[in-house]
Structure 1
Amino acid sequence: MHLGRLFQRSVQMHGDRPALAMGCAPAANYAELDARIRALAYWMRRDLGLEPGDRVTLAMKNRAEYAQALLAAWHAGLCAVPVNSKLHPNEIDYILRDSQSRLCLTDANLYKGLRPVADDIKALHLIDVEAPRYAHAATGPQAPETIEPGQDSHAPAWLFYTSGTTGRPKGVVLSHANLVNMALNFYADVQPVDDTDVLLHVAPMSHGSGLYSVPCFLKGALQVVPSSGGFDEAETCELLQHYRNASLFAAPTIVQRLAEYVASRNAPLPGLKSIIVAGAPFYVEDIKQAVRVLGPRIAQIYGQGESPMSITAQTASRIARAVEQNDDEFLGSVGHAQASIEISIEDASGNRQKANQAGEIMVSGPTVMQGYWQNPQASHDTLRDGKLHTGDIGLIDGRGLLHLKDRSKDVIISGGTNIYPREVEETLMQHPDVAEVSVIGMPDPHWGESILAFVVRREGRPPAGPAELDALCLSRMARFKRPKRYVFLDQLPKNATGKVLKRQLYDLVPPTP
């Protein structure tokens, strides 16, 4: 169940089938892609001196080199560390150090900002995949010897950094076996895949889209990276006219934008097989509109970084039937447990709840992470009693459907990306005019949620305005984490112990101007 060996199986079975393409350009077939992967694996191990188990950080926008590097790292027995390319270099610095990465592959957009970071980290190679050095490594002469793919299915394959509302990001350790079981669940519960399928990477490959490359290449399907490296409505429609049997992973905001574009232009999408939606709440009316405009092609999953893409699922056909039947209870759920997953709802004392009783969602199964990277206490707290304590609140109804009710962690999900309030709060507290701050998420019709910051100014200081606070945020963290609105208060509501009462903050939100 090692992904490197399973890719070799696909090469043997589908060597002449298209494997990887940029936009509408001719695709490399599986045999050609394999030659690049073997060359890169040799370069990583022999030229750069990496050893099995070493971490390779991938900090770049979607591009063909991303898929190549991911597969090459697995072939070489290395562990991939995917990084959101929108992160600030300071944030990537922490991930590089905590993961003890030996290699960081990036692109020209990020290379300059990461160069000072890399210079300060001993034994780290920083390499631009657009530079001649990388191109030569991937296309140079045949290596005098080959690197055989790994065999240990329990070796770390994907080290994904996530966090709650407090503390530093934690590295979720996912093994090769975890990801293979994720793929098997995909075939069983989301949709079948064969060598005529296409996966469009319009969402970040550092997240769900990259994970779904696994069920794609295991079946000899084609991966396509848009020339833009992301989501653009017109480009996506063009690709869905060029390719057939194409699926894409997307956050609800991408689906909404695509549906609006298609509806306004009556644009045909003959090549669309399905859109697999996850990463943020997908509201019932938005699901109905997407099905009306895009057809019976909308599937949905619920997962976490700790059990990736693999807790519950709703197939496109079942969602379409629920829309036709006005079954809002089904549409308001996130579906049934995936095939290898067991879900229970428990109260604070660990008692299993009955149907329609809310509690914390507990998950067990072969997709659940091994633990948090070098963080045994957090691993113990989250994986108690053989179950993943998700921190999410939900209930299971009489039909076995899981309904998400709340998040016990105050994570804000904007455009399918997790934003952690404390991270934003600590940044704003660095401004000398800010005495206190508390950040919450507000409903946003376009992004799902947007960030609102409540700020208490220091007495006797010149007042800091939104422009100054924006500039501070942009200098220290990714743009998408910047608050969209600021509300200035004389004091924050607190309980007797001094804890900010975030629920009361919602009552203090002024009307949108």
Structure 2
Amino acid sequence: MSLARTSPERPALSVESADGTWTHYTVGELYERVAATAAYALAADPPGGDHTLVALPNGEGLVRAVLASWMLGRTPMLTPPEATDPEKRVLSMGLGRKTQEAFIWSESTLAAALEPDAPQPHFTPRGQEPPVTWYLPTGGSTGLPSLFPVSPRPATVLTGARRLMKRTGWSPEAVQLSLGPLSHTAPLTMCMAGITGGAHVVMLRRLDPASLESTVNRFAPTWCQLTPHQMSLIDAHKGLWDALSRSLIGMLHTSAPCPDEVKRRWISRLGAERVHETYSSTQAVGATLCDGDEWLAHPGTVGRPFLSNQVLIADEEGRSLPPGDVGEVCMRSEWTDLFAGEDVRRVRSGGDDFLGVGDLGYTDSDGYLYLTGRLDDIILVGGANVSAREVENVLLAHPDVLEVVVVKRLDPLMGHVIHAVMVPSDLASPPGIEGLRRHCLRSLSPYKVPWAVDWVENLPRSHAGKVERFLRG
């Protein structure tokens, strides 16, 4: 880290512990801890494989493990610390010797690395970054996830992230709030890009409105990355809003479905110039971006291609579709061949490659992208295709429905039928099925209307705040 030479006293990371106290690290302190950790791993595993395993909760330890891996020229493979044994087996399926030979970062090895009597051989960073930045879970919306390699070297990934972040109000002087789990793409990428770019990253223990309000008042963060679910949780707390409005220069949210009214309130309260949305994928083969003004002019969009990125809406044969027609969302950029490994499906061959990311959508005449669902969200009802996302959007327009996920249920006559699992505004008095069906029939054909509903207190979510759709049906 060149910052350790030029600005060792600069704040780098503040982490909240389980008891609510904060620990702070300067750039110089963090670098020394990373170097000691890398030296310890080198002494413990002299031959060294090309990979490390990281299954740690958010905190300085996880950040240190990733940075030490890179310092050793190794690629970290990150898994959620709460993953079950079956999930871990599926995550590592197909990686073979990569996981068998990997050095395992744990709470105990990270602590041992900083003991006064820890082995400290002469250690000089390789200076050669690993060819793959990290392996991260992907595919969690369709089934148990697998680990996917992001192929460029760390400097390439983090430089690209900072180019995007700078367009949304981030700067090397930022106080950057980090809320999401670091085993997921956006929170990890933004956190590491911030730390290595000079920002002061503030990492909370959990997303609790009272704790978050105290943190905002204490650190006055100027930039953050959020999910729509986190935006919804923050939405109802006026004191938190007042604090955020005083300090935030910009925020960036990722493109899971964001309720229209929540997005509009964020724009109204913070100002359109401070609210930004991006769309990408774990494969990181492209990105779109829009600010609040663009979103208000094109409601529901996830933006236009950012810088060199391009978007193609393709039919089943990989042919380009015109604006307004729904097809698979495919992307490419100047880094496409660097990012994309063999695991990514190439939609068109030769020098005109676009890479499919599994989402469905369309573009308008101005080039703005809209998402309509996923390829695997299509439910076959009596031989007709039904988009689960389309049905969910209609149900979310009902005033008494807060959240919904549409699932398929086996039916001896139709093959499958539509079933909705919903969170009502009042669990004690949810809407009746007939009223919901009448509401849906105003916008949907009869075969798309749910045949049955379940009312629940909340939907199952991952640590990243995404509904765990692999639990459906």
Greater CA deviation, 164-173 or 59-68? 164-173
Q: Which residue pairs with 1:172 in the alignment?
A: 148
Q: Which residue pairs with 1:477 in the alignment?
A: none
Distance (Å, rounded) in 2 between the aligned partners of 1:101 and 1:123: 6
Q: In the TM superposition, what is the alpha-carbon distance from 1:402 to its structure 2 partner?
A: 1.4
Q: Which residue pairs with 2:452 in the alignment?
A: 509
* Residues 347, 353 of structure 1: 8 Å contact kept: yes
1:94 counterpart (68, 90, 93): 90
Please, what is the CA RMSD of the aligned residues?
3.5
Structure 1, unaligned stretches of length 5 or more?
1-7, 104-121, 412-420, 422-438, 458-502
Amino acid at match of 1:259: D
Identity %: 18
1:61 counterpart (57, 67, 72): 57
Using a 3 Å threshold, how does the CA distance of structure 1 residues 275 and 165 change in structure 2: closer, same or farther? closer
Q: Which residue pairs with 1:274 in the alignment?
A: 250
* Residues 178, 366 of structure 1: 8 Å contact kept: no
User: Which structure would you say has the larger RCO, counting Cα contacts within 8 Å and 6 or more residues apart?
Assistant: 1
Q: In the TM superposition, what is the alpha-carbon distance from 1:333 to its structure 2 partner?
A: 0.6
Pair 1:357-2:357 in alignment: no
Q: Residue 225 of structure 2: SS of its match in structure 1?
A: strand
Q: Which residue pairs with 1:400 in the alignment?
A: 367
Q: In the TM superposition, what is the alpha-carbon distance from 1:180 to its structure 2 partner?
A: 3.3
User: How many residues are matched?
Assistant: 398
Q: Residue 268 of structure 2: SS of its match in structure 1?
A: helix
Q: In the TM superposition, what is the alpha-carbon distance from 1:170 to its structure 2 partner?
A: 3.8
Using a 3 Å threshold, how does the CA distance of structure 1 residues 328 and 224 change in structure 2: closer, same or farther? closer
Q: Which residue pairs with 1:22 in the alignment?
A: 15
Distance (Å, rounded) in 2 between the aligned partners of 1:397 and 1:205: 34
Distance (Å, rounded) in 2 between the aligned partners of 1:70 and 1:98: 22
Q: Which residue pairs with 2:201 in the alignment?
A: 223
Q: Which residue pairs with 1:409 in the alignment?
A: 376
Q: Residue 323 of structure 2: SS of its match in structure 1?
A: coil
Using a 3 Å threshold, how does the CA distance of structure 1 residues 164 and 84 change in structure 2: closer, same or farther? closer
Q: Deviations over 1:456-504 (max 9, x none)?
A: 79xxxxxxxxxxxxxxxxxxxxxxxxxxxxxxxxxxxxxxxxxxxxx95
Using a 3 Å threshold, how does the CA distance of structure 1 residues 166 and 254 change in structure 2: closer, same or farther? closer
Q: In the TM superposition, what is the alpha-carbon distance from 1:19 to its structure 2 partner?
A: 0.7
Q: Which residue pairs with 2:169 in the alignment?
A: 191
* Residues 262, 293 of structure 1: 8 Å contact kept: no
Using a 3 Å threshold, how does the CA distance of structure 1 residues 273 and 189 change in structure 2: closer, same or farther? closer
Amino acid at match of 2:199: A
2:316 counterpart (335, 348, 355): 348
Using a 3 Å threshold, how does the CA distance of structure 1 residues 94 and 408 change in structure 2: closer, same or farther? closer
Q: In the TM superposition, what is the alpha-carbon distance from 1:393 to its structure 2 partner?
A: 2.2
Q: Deviations over 1:72-113 (max 9, x none)?
A: 11111111112223422221233245434777xxxxxxxxxx
Distance (Å, rounded) in 2 between the aligned partners of 1:101 and 1:262: 52
* Residues 254, 277 of structure 2: 8 Å contact kept: yes
Distance (Å, rounded) in 2 between the aligned partners of 1:21 and 1:168: 33
Pair 1:388-2:365 in alignment: no
Distance (Å, rounded) in 2 between the aligned partners of 1:63 and 1:192: 21
Distance (Å, rounded) in 1 between the aligned partners of 2:123 and 2:202: 28
Q: Which residue pairs with 1:45 in the alignment?
A: 42
Pair 1:76-2:72 in alignment: yes
* Residues 55, 81 of structure 2: 8 Å contact kept: yes
Alignment map for 1:207-246 (pairs within 5 Å): 207=184, 208-226=186-204, 228=205, 230-246=206-222
* Residues 343, 361 of structure 1: 8 Å contact kept: yes
Structure 2, unaligned stretches of length 5 or more?
380-386, 413-445, 457-473
Using a 3 Å threshold, how does the CA distance of structure 1 residues 43 and 10 change in structure 2: closer, same or farther? same
Using a 3 Å threshold, how does the CA distance of structure 1 residues 93 and 369 change in structure 2: closer, same or farther? farther
Using a 3 Å threshold, how does the CA distance of structure 1 residues 152 and 18 change in structure 2: closer, same or farther? closer
Q: Deviations over 1:270-312 (max 9, x none)?
A: 333333211511233221122234455322110111117x510
Distance (Å, rounded) in 2 between the aligned partners of 1:266 and 1:363: 35
Q: Which residue pairs with 2:288 in the alignment?
A: 312
Pair 1:333-2:301 in alignment: yes
2:180 counterpart (173, 182, 203): 203
Q: Deviations over 1:115-156 (max 9, x none)?
A: xxxxxxx65665541x3x531303546823114144257x01
Using a 3 Å threshold, how does the CA distance of structure 1 residues 231 and 352 change in structure 2: closer, same or farther? same
Distance (Å, rounded) in 1 between the aligned partners of 2:126 and 2:255: 32
Amino acid at match of 1:225: M
Q: Deviations over 1:210-265 (max 9, x none)?
A: 11123312321112211x2x3111111111111134322221111111111227x7
Q: Residue 180 of structure 2: SS of its match in structure 1?
A: coil
Distance (Å, rounded) in 1 between the aligned partners of 2:95 and 2:127: 20
Q: Deviations over 1:380-432 (max 9, x none)?
A: 55684422112222222222211222322329xxxxxxxxx9xxxxxxxxxxx
Using a 3 Å threshold, how does the CA distance of structure 1 residues 171 and 401 change in structure 2: closer, same or farther? same
* Residues 283, 332 of structure 1: 8 Å contact kept: no
Amino acid at match of 2:81: S
1:135 counterpart (111, 127, 137): 111
Pair 1:144-2:111 in alignment: no
Q: In the TM superposition, what is the alpha-carbon distance from 1:339 to its structure 2 partner?
A: 1.1
Q: Residue 99 of structure 1: SS of its match in structure 2?
A: coil
* Residues 234, 241 of structure 2: 8 Å contact kept: no
Pair 1:454-2:430 in alignment: no
Distance (Å, rounded) in 2 between the aligned partners of 1:101 and 1:20: 34
Q: Residue 507 of structure 1: SS of its match in structure 2?
A: coil
Q: In the TM superposition, what is the alpha-carbon distance from 1:364 to its structure 2 partner?
A: 1.0
Greater CA deviation, 184-193 or 66-75? 184-193
* Residues 371, 383 of structure 1: 8 Å contact kept: no
Distance (Å, rounded) in 2 between the aligned partners of 1:223 and 1:203: 13
Using a 3 Å threshold, how does the CA distance of structure 1 residues 504 and 137 change in structure 2: closer, same or farther? farther
Distance (Å, rounded) in 2 between the aligned partners of 1:124 and 1:52: 6
Amino acid at match of 2:13: L
Q: Residue 113 of structure 2: SS of its match in structure 1?
A: helix
